[in-house]
Structure 1
Amino acid sequence: MSEPRQSQVLVGRQCGVYRMAYREWGDPANPRVLICAHGLGRNGRDFAQLADSLSAEFRVVAPDVVGRGASEWLRDPMGYQIPMYVQDMLVLIARLQPASLSWVGTSMGGLIGMVLAALPGTPIERLVLNDIGPNLERVALARIAEYVGKAPRFPSREAAEAYVRLVSAPFGPHSDAQWAYLTDVVLMADGDGWRLNYDPGIGVPFRQLAEMPEIGDFWPFYDRIACPTLVTRGALSDLLTVETACAMSERGPRARWVDFDGVGHAPTFLHADQIAVVSDFLLGA
């Protein structure tokens, strides 16, 4: 895989100004931009293989949402919520000045893209929602809340990989090299040990959401989306059900829907067949 360029943009919140890091592949003058947004506890490095595959056609940009990867942590953990992420991404889009913009979002990154694509005057022309929909299933939220933001520390890299394999088992089958990569993406050295490279505070609002009697839905946003939309889903997903995916194919943008067998939440786009589905959609008529 080719080495990406590293950059950053300043995003403003009521509690201060923060540095949001991002990586990009392809010609920096290409007006055709693809933004890839990661899931809750991951970061932009997840998309390196997908970006490499599409960098001849797009300027591919993968941000580390604040609190993750190389981006700064927020002083107030309640800022780790979708409306604020949307504002941050609008700052990034203004920096990139795309003539055309496509969006690939996994889980949380898909929710950000869903809201952005629903805005009047949105610049998003094609949208890929990876294992996320307008309904958030409580059983999946409870499962994720069990581990996200718990800030474990590992005595060795091997122990860290065993942990990542355990909590990320729904990603489906991967080779040893792929598991090693998925671990390295979210791992950083910490003294004589290792830790996950995100702010444990990201779990605070998430656990509150998982415990709410009524979980808000995103159908009002989804139904306003007008651009071509692709839904990629793990066939074993506990976050995006068959019923919700079916409804997404019939409402709003009437998304095309593709399942990947043997995968839960969420497809990683490290497999050739998964990359091909996204590539065909983004480059198709």
Structure 2
Amino acid sequence: MDASLEPRLDFVTCASPAGLHRMAYWEWGDPANDRVLLCVHGLTRTGRDFDTLARRLAGRYRVVCPDVVGRGRSDWLVNPAFYTVPQYVSDMVTLIARLRPGSLAWVGTSMGGLIGMALSGAGAFAKAMLAMRPHAGMLPPDQGIRLDKLVLNDVGPRLENGALSRIGQYVGDSSEFASFQDAVAAMRANSQTFGPHTDAQWADLAKYLYPEQGGKWVKHYDVAISQALSSQTAEELAAGEQILWRSYDAIDCPVLIVRGAQSDLLTRATVDEMLKRNPRARAHEVAGVGHAPTLIADDQVNPVADFLLA
């Protein structure tokens, strides 16, 4: 495939308890290919994070990279209380119904991995959510979506509180910038855990995060996504971890866990527990990187591509 080709942009209409919204998605490869790879980004990122991986795999997969609601080209929710994993799972079910895959693989970075775990173990996830919150709103179906392969990029069922606090410090910041260079510098300062990148790579990582509006460069996402994050109590976080473990334990496809060796969100102890609890899982650690590997450099892309194509 010609690496210079750009993806196609499309939209799918989804529902929340507050009404309808459109979710944007970027699509690479043959639109008739029913071998689908869904790549889902982290909390404040966009589907364009996966450009490098998509170009690598678009000859074999129809690669679909959504902008999760509230981010990128997607609509913002009227009620920010629904910026939660159950809503994101519901949106992905709608997207998958549109795509009609013959086979489905998943790459999820951070939040995207949580969505993938919940979707794959949707039956366990739904039962646990209903037990904790009988009126939880948008829930996945009783039966999980069958995944052929799952890549969890620096995320697992247990999320470290220190990392969540660090992330929460900048998510709700609505700063504007007078130039794109200033925006890149701000993103760089908040993203040192991504590890070493060239100046050009940092600019690429920022390109879709800071669109120009009225002569200012602003964040692409609804800063109200921070409300759901900040409102969680210690008890809710603990209950959420148990729900995610149930979903993870129910996954019955090969799993590749990618961990940044210096990650403060996914510890090595959590990876070890994940490997013990699911015999179909294996792990790959990326040296010199924290949360989360950006899947741009060859030493990060190659293990993921090899796993998916094996």
Normalising by the smaller structure, the TM-score range is over 0.9
RMSD: 1.0
What does residue 228 of structure 1 align with?
Answer: 254
1:147 paired residue among 138, 152, 170 = 170
Residue of structure 1 equivalent to 2:127:
none
Q: Matches of residues 136-285 of structure 1 in structure 2 within 5 Å?
A: 136-209=159-232, 211-215=233-237, 216-217=240-241, 218-284=244-310
2:129 is the alignment partner of 1:131: no
Identity %: 52
Q: Which residue of 1 aligns with 2:83?
A: 80
Contact 2:252–2:280 (8 Å) recurs in 1 = no
Q: Which runs of 5+ in 2 are unaligned?
A: 123-142
Moved more, 79-88 or 151-160: 151-160
- State the shift of 1:149 in Å: 2.2
Aligned AA for 2:268? Answer: V
In 2, the alpha carbon distance for the partners of 1:15 and 1:153 equals: 29
Change (3 A) 1:13 1:214: closer
What TM-score do the two structures reach when normalised by structure 1? 0.97
User: Whole-Å Cα distance in 1 between the matches of residues 23 and 279 of structure 2?
Assistant: 30
Residues in 1 aligned to 2:144 and 2:163: alpha-carbon distance in whole angstroms? 33
The amino acid that maps onto 2:93 is L
For residues 228 and 267 of structure 1, what CA distance do their matches in structure 2 show? 20
The residue aligned with 1:22 is 25
Equivalent AA in structure 1 for residue 260 of structure 2: G
Confirm or deny: 8 A CA contact 1:225 1:253 kept in the other structure: no
Give the match's secondary structure for 1:276. helix
For these two proteins, the number of residue pairs brought into alignment is 283
Matched, 1:34 2:60: no
Amino acid at match of 2:97: A
Instruction: Return the alpha-carbon distance in structure 2 between the equivalents of residues 2 and 109 of structure 1.
Output: 25
Q: 2:66 aligns with which of 59, 63, 66?
A: 63
SS of alignment partner, residue 152 of structure 2: strand
- Cα separation, 2, equivalents of 1:230 and 1:82: 21
Query: What TM-score, normalized by structure 2, do the two folds share?
Result: 0.89
Distance 1:224 1:141, change over 3 A: same
Q: Is this contact kept in 1: 2:253–2:280, CA < 8 A?
A: no
In structure 1, distance between residues paired with 2:236 and 2:61: 40
- Cα deviation, 1:131-163, whole Å, max 9, x if unaligned, reads 000101000000000000211111111111110
SS of residue paired to 2:170: coil
1:121 deviates by: 4.4
Q: Name the counterpart of 1:98.
A: 101
Query: How far apart are the structure 1 equivalents of 2:218 and 2:144?
Result: 41
